[in-house]
Amino acid sequence: MTRTPTHCPYCALQCGQWIDRAGAVDAREFPTSRGGMCQKGWTSGRLLRHPERLTTPLVHGEPVSWDAALGYVADRLRAIRTEHGPDAVAVFGAGGLTNEKAYLLGKFARVALGTSQIDYNGRFCMSSAAAAGNRAFGIDRGLPFPVTDLAAADVVLLAGANPAETMPPLMGHLGEAALIVVDPRVSATAERAIATGGLHLQPVPGTDLVLALGMLHAAVVEGYVDTAYVAQRTTGFEEAWRIAAQWWPERAERVCGVAAADMRAAVALLARARNRYVLTGRGAEQHAHGVDTVTAWINVALVLGLPGRPGSGFGTITGQGNGQGGREHGQKADQLPGYRHITDPAARTHVASVWGVDPDALPGPGRSATELLNALGRPDGPRALLVFGSNVLVSAPDAGAVAERLAALDLLVVADVVPGETVRAADVVLPVAQWAEEEGTMTNLEGRVLRRRRALPPPPGVRTDLEIVAGLAEHLGVPGFPAHPAAVFEELRAASAGGPADYSGITYERLDAGEALHWPCPAEDHPGTPRLFLDRFAHPDGRARFVPVDHVAAAELPCPDYPLRATTGRVLTHYQSGAQTRRIAELVAVVPEAFVEVHPDTAARSGLADGDWARVASRRGSVRARVRCVPSLRTDTVFLPFHFGDDQAANRVTNPALDPVSRMPEFKVSAVRIEPERTAG
C-alpha cells in the first residue's frame, strides 16, 4: 500500500485518516467521522516535517547523544531519589498518549522510580465526569453506546459541550435532532440549536447545577417521571428529590438566570421525545463542584429513564484523543491498569503479579495534577519532574504559579515534538515521534479501541516515548520495560484482565482484521461491549444511583475589583495548548492570537472597543487579548480561548480551586476585570 489507514491525532472522535509516505493526509470512511474531518485533521500532516520539529536531545540547551541524555537524566534521578526519597521524583503524562504509553509510564513511575507522584493532564479534562459516572453507574465510559446511535435521536441536550467547534464531525450524527444547548455563550452549537427550533439555555457561569435542579423539579412536578424505570433500575430517588424539591424553576431562575419557562420547555421537549440523550462536556465539568454538576445532569437523565435504554442514554463527550484510555491504565495518581484503584488489595496483587514485584512495594495514591504541580520544588514536594506530551505552562490553572514551581525544580525533563512553552523551560529535552510515525492503540470517546499504525519513519535522531521510557529504565538498571508497542500491549492485556476496563480479549490481530472492539472485552472470542447498561448497571445490585446534590457557589465570585466572570474554552481551529496548531499556517491565519469575547456595553464601560488590545486580570495574573465585541454574550461574562502561550495564556487568570472528589480545577469561573492594555498595571 502507498498509504496507511490510521486516525487523527487530535480529539477523542478519532476520525479515520489515510496518510501516505510523504505525510499527506486524506479522510477515510470510519463510523465516528463518516468520511469527514475538521480543519485540524486535514492539516495534521503539516507538523510531521515542520521546520521547528525537535530532532536532537538537548541538555541545558546543548545537543547531546541519546546515550548521554538518558544517562544524565538517570544519574540525576538516582541522586535526587537518594537524597530526598522516591517521591522526590514525579511524572506527568497526557490524555493524548497511546494506551501503551500510558500503561508503561505508570509502571515506570511505580516500579523503576518507586514514586507515587504521577498524574496527567486528563485530570483537567474528564475527571469530574469520570467520578460522577462511577458513583452513579458503577463504571466510567464517556459514551456507553456507539456514537452512531445518536443518529436516531429526536432530542439531544448538550450541557457545556460545543461539538460544532470542538469536534465538528460529531454534529453529523445529530441529524435532525432538536438540540437543547446549555452554554453561557451563543456558541456555534447553540446557533445550530436556535436555527433548527431547539433551545439555548444561557446560565450564569458556575450555576449549571442549579439549572439541572430546576429541570429535575419540573420533570417531577409536571408528571414526566418514568416511575417504572425509577423503581426497577435505580435507587436513591427520594434523597435526591428532597433537595430538588426546594429548587422550583422560579427559584432556580433567580440564581442561574435561565427563565423558568425555558426550563419547563426543555424538560417537556426531552420527556416527550421517543429517542433522547443527555450529554455533558467540559462546561459542566471544569468546576470546583464539577462532579456534583455532572451528577445533577445524570439525575435528570435517570428520572426520565434514559440511561441503559436502547435509543436513549446519558454520556460525556470525551476531549483528548485518548482521554478514555489515558485514564484506564495507570498514569492517574490513584489508578492501576484496567481502571483498578491503587488502594484495592486485590488490584495491587493482580498488577504486581504481572509486573513481577511485591504488592507491598507498590506506592499508594499520589497527588492530583494541580496539587502535584503546586508541590514542585517545595521542601516536601518533588525535586524532579518528567513530562510526556503535556504543555503544563499553558494548560494548567494559575499558569504563572506553575512557572514559578517549574523554575524551583532541580531537574525538568520534557519529551515532546515541538518547542512549546514547557519545552522551553526544560533542563533536558527529548524529541519524540508523532502519531504517523509509531504503532499503538487509542480508545475513543465510545470506549472503542483503535489501531494507530506507522505510516512513515520519524526523522533521524527521534525516538518514541516507549523507547525513551525503556531506555531510562535500562539506565536505572531496572529490567522488564519493553520498547515495542505490541509487547507492551500484551502486558497491558494481562494487567487489565478482570478489571472494570478489561482489554484482555483485545489483540492487535483482531483490531487489524477490522473488528470493532469496545471494552470490556474479557476473552479473545468475546465480541466486545458496544452498549453498556442494557440489562444492569455496574453496581453490585445492578441499579443506577441517584445521588443528592445541591448548589454550591463558585469558589470565586465577582467583587468591585473584579466584577466579571471569565470562562474559558476552545475554538474550531486550535487544539488544547495550541503547541501544535499554532504552528500550522492555515490554522493561525484564521485565529492568529488570543482574544476576549465581551458584550459591547461591558467593553464600552471599560473604555474598550472591538479590535482593541485588552488586559484581562484576576487575583492571580493577567492575560493580553484582542477584544471581540459579541452582543449575544452575557454582560457579566467574558470568554477566553486557552490555546495561546506566554502573556496570552488564558490560564494565567484561572482559579486552581479543586473539586473535592475529582480534584478538577475551576477553569470555567474566575473573577476578573478588563481594561485597556495601555493602562494595565
Which pLDDT score is estimated for 115?
98
Residue 137 CA, chain-centre distance (Å), reads 20
Which pLDDT score is estimated for 475?
98
Question: 600: cis peptide before it, omega within 30°?
Answer: no
Which pLDDT score is estimated for 175?
86
pTM: predicted TM-score of the whole model, two decimal places: 0.96
Which pLDDT score is estimated for 681?
40
Contacts of 622 (CB under 8 A, 6+ apart): 615, 616, 647, 652, 653, 680
pLDDT in tens, 402-447: 999 999 999 999 999 999 999 999 999 999 999 999 999 999 999 9
Q: Please say if the pLDDT value at position 679 is more than 60.
A: no
229: closest CA among 308, 294, 144? Answer: 308
pLDDT in tens, 7-55: 999 999 999 999 999 999 999 999 999 999 999 999 999 999 999 999 9
Query: What is the number of other CB atoms lying within 10 angstroms of the CB of residue 294?
Result: 32
d(CA 111, CA 88): 15
Q: Please say if the pLDDT value at position 577 is more than 60.
A: yes
Q: Please say if the pLDDT value at position 353 is more than 60.
A: yes
Average pLDDT over residues 274-283: 96
575: closest CA among 94, 160, 193? Answer: 94
Instruction: Report the chain's C-alpha Rg in angstroms.
Output: 24
Average pLDDT over residues 232-259: 98
d(CA 494, CA 497): 5
Which pLDDT score is estimated for 680?
42
Say if CB 569 and CB 283 are below 8 A apart: yes
Average pLDDT over residues 537-560: 97
Q: What single-letter DSSP state applies at residue 11?
A: B
In three-state secondary structure terms, 379 is: coil
Contacts of 206 (CB under 8 A, 6+ apart): 287, 553, 554, 565, 668, 669
Query: What is the number of other CB atoms lying within 10 angstroms of the CB of residue 340?
Result: 24
**pLDDT band at 1; cut points 50, 70, 90:** low
Q: Which residues pair with 672 in a beta bridge?
A: 564
Domains, the chain = 3-47 (2.20.25.90), 58-124+323-483 (3.40.50.740), 127-316 (3.40.228.10), 564-679 (2.40.40.20)
* Percent of the chain scoring above 70 in pLDDT: 99
d(CA 638, CA 174): 29
Q: Which residues of 392-410 are buried (b: 16+ CB within 10 A; e: fewer)?
A: bbbbbbbbebbbebbeebb
Average pLDDT over residues 510-536: 97
φ, ψ of residue 578 to 5 degrees: the values are 80, 5
Q: Which residues pair with 320 in a beta bridge?
A: 11
Q: Please say if the pLDDT value at position 190 is more than 50.
A: yes
Q: Which residue has the cell 488490584?
A: 347
C-alpha cell at 527: 465480541
Contacts of 246 (CB under 8 A, 6+ apart): none
Going by their DSSP bridges, the two strands 178-182 and 155-159 should be labelled as parallel
Which pLDDT score is estimated for 528?
98
Mean pLDDT over the full length of the chain: 96
Q: Please say if the pLDDT value at position 58 is more than 70.
A: yes
